[in-house]
Amino acid sequence: MSKPGDYDAVRKDIVAQLKKPDYDDGSTGPVFVRLAWHSAGTYDQETDTGGSNGAGMRYDQEGGDPANAGLEHARAFLEPVKERHPWITYSDLWTLAGVVAVKELGGPDVNWKPGRTDFVDDSKLPPRGRLPDGAQGADHIRHVFYRMGFNDQEIVALSGAHNLGRTHKDRSGFNGPWVNNPTRFSNQYFKLLIKLEWKLTTLDNGVKQFIYVDEDLPEDERDEPLMMLPTDMALVSDPGFEPWVRKYADDKDLFFDHFSKAYAKLLELGIRRDEKGNITNTDNKLGGYIS
Ligand code: ZEM
């Protein structure tokens, strides 16, 4: 066991859990980035409910939300890290895993602060259905992200996380990766959104998504088709979102900078700190470790 507060030791052990040749595209990084996002993305500014504090996904009310299907894999991959550093809270571990994964997969540094508690306050439990539905459009995206306190620019920056990982038929019903190299963080997602000709298709399970097949190549040389969710396509058809898609496609550094800030903000939703960084939420009964 490491010394309580030794977050560098935890970071190292998260890194050691990233490479998994038999899992998806060989990395648990993308599903860690998604776990961190879903742990925080339930936040509602108006009622001050939801958010990463409490790690509510451990329990069925939140963990069993169909939107969280598949994230049990991410939590299981992090269990050996929790065992080696039992002093870290799950809420800190899951958010830190997202930050470590972004960096290790070639993305920016994201500012991360510890101190979240695993105390679950029943009055702060988010109802199911707060996370976005990929089958919908721009109005829905705004409804969900404005509720958390994000603006259009931040929504587009955060959506750039779809440079990583893939959709799974047995989790969301969608199928396939967004980019050809889904374990490398870059601005390729924005470039492809603009550049490729996306075709609407209906999968055999009835789910509608957009795909790109490189028809210039003979069939046996083609990669797996790339995909976009209806919500991804809304970013290029909506006049408030589209200029940001173009900016991020043209300027990787700008995207990295804006992603880093927005992801850090996401992971802090609902958390209040004093000037030393210590959490001051009155429901923080278990406290945290600030080194
Ligand atoms: Zn995602 N996302 N997401 N996302 N997401 C999936 C996968 C991943 C939406 C969505 O419906 C889906 C953000 C925003 C939004 C990641 C990160 C972030 C999947 C596929 C769906 C359906 C799940 C599956 O089948 O496994 C919608 C509608 C969003 C907003 C409009 C934000 C914000 C993210 C982080 C900052 C990541 C990394 C994945 C890939 C996970 C994996 O297992 O590979």
Closest CA to 93 of 2, 24, 23, 183: 2
Q: How far apart are the first and last CA of the chain?
A: 17
| 114 CA from centroid of ligand 1 (Å) | 24
pLDDT at 121: 80
| 34 CA from centroid of ligand 1 (Å) | 6
- Would you give the distance in Å from CA 191 to the centre of its chain? 20
Domains of the chain: 7-131+263-267 (1.10.520.10), 138-259 (1.10.420.10)
Pocket test for ligand 1, best of 27, 34, 103 (most atoms within 8 A of CB): 34
Give the CA distances from residue 282 to residues 59, 87, 279, 287, in Å, rounded to whole numbers and listed in that order: 22, 21, 9, 10
pLDDT in tens, 155-189: 999 999 999 999 999 999 999 999 999 999 999 99
Distance separating alpha carbons of residues 247 and 178, to the nearest angstrom: 19
Distance separating alpha carbons of residues 127 and 62, to the nearest angstrom: 8
Do residues 257 and 263 touch, judged by C-beta distance below 8 A? no
| 28 CA from centroid of ligand 1 (Å) | 14
Instruction: Please compute the mean of the pLDDT values over residues 248-258 and round it to a whole number.
Output: 98
Q: Give Dmax (Cα) for the chain.
A: 62
* Ligand 1 pocket, CB under 6 A: 30-31, 33-34, 37, 70, 132, 134, 141, 158-159, 161-162, 164-168, 171-172, 174, 229, 231, 263
User: What is the ipTM score, two decimals?
Assistant: 0.99
Report residue 8 as tokens.
């560098």
